[in-house]
Structure 1
Amino acid sequence: MVMDSPEQWARPRAPEIPAAPDPPDTEASLVRPYTLTAGRTHTDVLLPLEAPVQTLRVAQPNQWPVSDPRGRIVELCQGSPSVAEISARLNLPLGVARVLVGDLVTSGYLRVRATLTEASTRDERRDLIGRTLRGLRALG
């Protein structure tokens, strides 16, 4: 094949890649989540996702910097949310929330209530299902 004109020599264009959508109007976190846990991804405390967490002692004002979610977790746990609810309400990755909650349990600020067992009553099971549904609705 003989190429007669410079247009025939040109390389074909790569397909255009659509631009990424604009980020939502939420304020971006300046701190990477793993820095909140010093890079840790696990906790020694048994923390099922559905486990209700309660505050044992309230943190002192200004105990943690404003950007540190531990103070907000302690405050939030006065209402006994689950580990999954804490993650959702504070917009934290679940792994980060679990590590922070585990640290607060170890430090004596929080306690994890037992979840369902074989001996759980019908009312306890119904309560867990209700809390789970309320949490899902709050996310949607």
Structure 2
Amino acid sequence: MRPYAMTRGRTAPRIDLAVEALVSSATVQNSDASLYTPEYQAISVLCRQVRSVAEISALLRIPLGVIRVVIADMAEEGLVILHQPQLNAGTPELGLLERVLIGLRRL
């Protein structure tokens, strides 16, 4: 299947999804897995163990841009749970830097 068919022609996910974000399968009650696309089924099986978006892309051999759109769609439907990294606008915590400095001085 062509990648654009998996995403219905969309090239960007509806939610901001980092490639290092972790994904796990959600427990869905009264759900018939046979109604889902093969990609949805494969992602659900893979994500029984927590995996990164990049890892899912590599294991399924689906381009990263496509897998980001598919996973975002699944998250909106409640089929997977996203564990996004916390970003502090690119600045590390002051406490962390102080602990690193103390450790370096002890060397």
TM-score (norm 2): 0.73
Q: Distance in 1 between matches of 2:36 and 2:25?
A: 16
Match of 2:17 among 38, 43, 47: 47
Residue pairs, 1:116-135, within 5 angstroms: 116-117=86-87, 118=92
Partner of 1:62: 34
Per-residue Cα deviation, 1:32-54 (whole angstroms, up to 9, x for no partner): 11111111111121211011111
- Structure with more relative contact order (C-alpha pairs < 8 Å, separation 6 or more): 2
Indicate yes or no: 2:64 matched with 1:83: no
Does the 8 A contact of 2:26 with 2:78 survive in 1? yes
* RMSD of equivalent CA atoms: 1.9
Equivalent pairs, count: 88
Q: Distance in 2 between matches of 1:84 and 1:54?
A: 13
Q: 1:98 aligns to what SS in structure 2?
A: helix
Counting helix residues as a fraction of each chain, which structure ranks higher? 2
Q: Distance in 2 between matches of 1:92 and 1:85?
A: 10
Residue pairs, 1:1-140, within 5 angstroms: 31-58=1-28, 60-65=32-37, 68-117=38-87, 118=92
Gaps of 5+ in 2: 97-107
Does the 8 A contact of 1:43 with 1:99 survive in 2? yes
Gaps of 5+ in 1: 1-30, 123-140
Does the 8 A contact of 1:63 with 1:71 survive in 2? no
TM-score (norm 1): 0.57
Per-residue Cα deviation, 1:3-35 (whole angstroms, up to 9, x for no partner): xxxxxxxxxxxxxxxxxxxxxxxxxxxx11111
Larger radius of gyration: 1
Partner of 1:128: none
Partner of 1:138: none
What fraction of aligned residue pairs are identical, expressed as a percent? Answer: 35
Q: Distance in 2 between matches of 1:94 and 1:33?
A: 10
Which amino acid in the other structure matches residue 8 of structure 2?
A: A
